[in-house]
Amino acid sequence: MAMRITYKLTAADYIAAQNFHSRRGPIGFLSIGICYFVAPIVGIFLLLSVVNFRQAGVSFSTLSELFLPLLITLAPLWLYLYWRYRFRASRVSEGPCILDFGEDHIESEMPGVSRSTVEWIAVKRYRESRKILLIYLSRSSFYAIPRRALQEEEHPELIALLDRKLKSRKSQQIA
């Protein structure tokens, strides 16, 4: 059973993949929670405390005191902007990504730029969310496939293939 998936990775896909990848363990989940929830709350509290407890009018020192709380409050925005920057910096082509899932290996290609082959034994695991499917080749290296790139009937087919190949891989390691 061979399957071909062709898609163009967008900045939104890349950010969804990085965000989902960041939440892969307790430490990652905690850091995302701190960045998206705790930091903005602490930053807003600090902003309000600087503004409320300041008896004199706004001066240069007041503005400098607002800088750090504002920076903390905007942590989610900084993370988003960082991931957008990383997406643009990593783009070598505006062309499509093509993944061919065969019985023996996975071939990835960006026409005119690169082509690689990965044996199924190299696939460690996969994770999926509403927006993205990540196929891990190592702890930090993965194929990011937007769910929108999969036809309705292709998704269960691909998951079944991944499950079968990962189960086969584990049984090979035990033997």
Q: Domain 3-9+95-174 belongs to what topology?
A: PH-domain like (2.30.29)
Tens digits of per-residue pLDDT, 10-41? 999 999 999 899 888 888 888 888 888 899 99
Contact indicator for 134, 127 with CB cutoff of 8 Å: yes
Note the pLDDT of residue 14.
92
The kind and range of the H/E element at 144 are strand 142-146
Span 129-136, average pLDDT? 95
**Between 65 and 74, the higher pLDDT residue:** 74
DSSP label at residue 38: I
* Predicted TM-score (pTM) of this structure: 0.79
